[in-house]
């Protein structure tokens, strides 16, 4: 009972802070915190896949790519309402995720990582191939009206609202039967099958949900970038960033997701002022070193840290 009040209270504090920040921060910094919101959704999606259902993916940038381009193309060609495009991105990526999840059933561990890596490298090539429809290297720009609407503040608000909605959705899924099935699959596939969990259904479902979350993140990612979608934005490094965010978060923890997303979302802007390394690629050194350290020292990520601190405080 007490812990539930604590959880609700901390959620309220986070919500309050997020509501206040736009008043305190400059417009530019608001766009930075919006990036955190965007990564929150993608990292949350990957967390569900890897942390809860035990399937690894180094290809979530591909789903963000699909979601982002969905929004951009629909807006450019039909001036579709942006919220509608996000819903469509969610749906399309859910289906694509299911499709990827099917062959993934027969792959495990390193092999799945390999396949998703190849996916992440391949999907951004597709706009180059179908350049008349998908803009090629010149990219796709959302409509004038969409560009007017999607100000920094708008993106901030929608990104965090969507994050909240997806967070609640994840919580609902994971506390129910589906969540228990996911955890059973992660802990021991053989035991899960033995206890009657229909493996294929849940594993594929996890992929679909995970991809859908990344798709919405992709939509907002494009909108935050002045409504401009280009293939290079969705290169392999994006997928690696999401994985790093999930690793720092602590696979299997919803609270860690916030920390992981903040780490990945804010580091690029912060690292340019790091004195020694400084340059645009200073962030790569920090990202790489951070995730290696986390894996070596703190394998459960931020979530593990919190758990350990709790143990120390409680015990």
Partner 1 sequence: MATAETSRLESLRNRSAALGAGSTPIVMLLLVAVAVALLVGSLRSATFAQLTVQGLAVGSVYGSLALALVLVYRATHVVNFAQGELAMATTYIAYQLIQWGLSYWEAFFATLAIAFLLGTVLEVTLIRPVLHRSVIAAVIVTVGLFVLIDGVVDWIWGGDFKFMPSPFGTRIYHVGSVSIARLYIGMFVVVIISVLLVWALFRFTKLGLGMRAAALRPAEAAFVGVRVEWMLALGWGLAALLGAVAGLMAEPSQFTLEPTLMQPILVYAFAAAVLGGLDSPAGAVVGGLLIGVALNLMVQYVPAITSELQAPTAFAVILAVLLIKPSGLFGHREVRRV
Partner 2 sequence: MPVNRKKLGAILVALLATAAVAGTAAASHPGTPGVTKKQIVIGGTFPFTGPAALYKTIPVAEQAYYAYVNAHGGVFHRKIKDITLDDQYDPGQTPGLTKKLVEQDHVFAVVGSLGTAPILSTWNYLNKRKIPQVLVATGDAYWGQCVHKALKVCGGKAKPWTMGWQPDYPGEARVYARYILKNKPGAKIGVLYQNDAYGANYLAGLKAGLGSSKNQIVDAESYNVTDSAQVIATHLVKMRTKGADTLVIFATPQPTIYALIDRTAIGWSPLTLVNNVSANRLFLLSAGQNGASLNGVVSSTYTPSPTVQANLKGVKFGKSIIAKYAPSLNQSWAEGDGNLVYGLGVAWTFVDALKHAGKNPTRASLMHALRHLNESGHNKNPFVYPGMNVKTSNSRTFPMEQLKLIKWSGGAGGDWHSFGKLYTGIH
Closer to partner 1 at the Cβ: 70 or 283? 283
User: In sequence order, what DSSP letters do the residues of 237-283 get, joined into one string?
Assistant: HHHHHHHHHHHHH-TT-HHHHHHHHHHHHHHHHHHTT-TTT-STTHH
Least separation in angstroms between CB 29 and partner 2 = 9
Q: Which helix (H) or strand (E) holds 290?
A: helix 282-297
**Helices 82-104 & 109-122 angle (0-180, nearest 10):** 140
Least separation in angstroms between CB 60 and partner 1 = 12
Q: Is 138 a residue that touches partner 2 (CB under 8 A)?
A: yes
Write out the two tokens for 78: 């039909």
Q: E strands, the chain, where?
A: 140-141, 228-229
Residue from 26, 108, 148, 195 touching partner 1 (CB under 8 A): that is 108
**DSSP label at residue 140:** E
Q: Reduced to 3 states, what is the DSSP secondary structure of residue 176?
A: coil
Least separation in angstroms between CB 26 and partner 2 = 7
Q: How far apart are CA 106 and CA 188, in angstroms?
A: 16
Q: Is 280 a residue that touches partner 2 (CB under 8 A)?
A: yes
Residue from 3, 125, 132, 273 touching partner 1 (CB under 8 A): that is 125
Q: Is 23 a residue that touches partner 2 (CB under 8 A)?
A: yes
Give the residues lining the site for partner 1 (CB under 8 A).
50, 56, 58, 103, 106-111, 113-115, 117-119, 121-122, 125-126, 128-129, 189-190, 193, 236-237, 240, 243-244, 247, 277, 279, 281-292, 295-296, 299
Give the residues lining the site for partner 2 (CB under 8 A).
20, 23-24, 26-28, 31, 128, 131, 136-139, 141, 144, 147, 152, 225-226, 228-234, 280
């Amino acid at each position: 009972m007490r812990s539930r009040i604590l959880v609700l209270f901390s959620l309220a504090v986070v919500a309050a802070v997020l509501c206040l920040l736009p008043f305190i921060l400059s417009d530019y910094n608001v766009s930075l915190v919006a990036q955190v919101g965007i990564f929150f959704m993608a990292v949350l999606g990957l967390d569900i896949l890897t942390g809860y259902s035990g399937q690894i993916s180094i290809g979530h940038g591909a789903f963000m790519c699909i979601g982002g381009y969905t929004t951009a193309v629909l807006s450019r060609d039909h001036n579709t309402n942006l919220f509608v495009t996000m819903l469509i991105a969610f749906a399309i990526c859910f289906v694509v995720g299911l499709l990827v999840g099917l062959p993934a059933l027969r792959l495990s561990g390193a092999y799945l990582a390999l396949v998703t890596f190849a996916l992440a490298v391949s999907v951004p090539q597709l706009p180059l191939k179908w350049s008349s429809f998908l803009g090629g290297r010149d990219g796709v720009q959302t409509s004038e009206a969409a560009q007017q609407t999607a100000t920094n503040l708008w993106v901030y608000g929608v990104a965090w609202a969507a994050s909240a909605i997806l967070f609640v959705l994840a919580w609902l899924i994971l506390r129910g039967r589906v969540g228990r099935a996911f955890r059973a699959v992660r802990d021991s596939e053989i035991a899960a099958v033995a206890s009657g969990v229909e493996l294929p259904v849940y594993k594929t479902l996890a992929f679909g949900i995970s991809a859908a979350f990344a798709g919405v993140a992709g939509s907002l990612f494009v909108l935050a970038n002045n409504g401009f979608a280009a293939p290079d934005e969705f290169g392999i490094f994006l997928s690696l960033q999401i994985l790093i965010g999930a690793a720092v978060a602590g696979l299997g923890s919803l609270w860690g997701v916030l920390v992981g997303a903040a780490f990945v979302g804010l580091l690029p802007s912060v690292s340019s002022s790091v004195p020694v390394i400084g340059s645009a690629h200073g962030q790569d050194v920090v990202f790489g070193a951070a995730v290696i350290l986390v894996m070596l020292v703190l394998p459960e990520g931020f979530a593990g840290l919190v758990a350990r601190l709790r143990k120390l405080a409680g015990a």
